[in-house]
Amino acid sequence: MLSPEELSRYSRNILLNEVKRAGQEKLKNSVVTVIGAGGLGSPALLYLGAAGVGSIRIIDSDILDTTNLQRQIIFKHSDIGRFKSEASSENLRSLNPYIRVEGIQARLTTENAKELLKGSDLVLEGSDNFDTKFLTNDICVEERIPFITAGVLRFEGMVMGVRPGMDACFRCVYENPPPPEHVPSCADAGVIGSMAGMIGTIQVTESIQFLLNDSERDSGLFGRILQVDSRSMEFRTISAVRRKDCIVCGALH
Which residues are tagged catalytic? 186
The 31-35 sheet, strands edge to edge: 100-104, 55-59, 31-35, 122-125, 147-153, 156-162, 224-229, 234-239
- Rounded-to-10 torsion of CA 182, 188, 189, 195: 110
Cβ neighbours of residue 202 under 8 Å, at least 6 residues apart?
Answer: 150, 159, 221, 226, 228
157: left (phi over 0), alpha (psi -120 to 50) or beta: beta
Q: Give the CA count within 13 Å in the CB-facing half-sphere of 10.
A: 31
- Rounded-to-10 torsion of CA 150, 73, 47, 133: 20
Rounded distance between C-alpha atoms, residue 44 and residue 49, angstroms? 8
Q: Give the CA count within 13 Å in the CB-facing half-sphere of 138.
A: 16
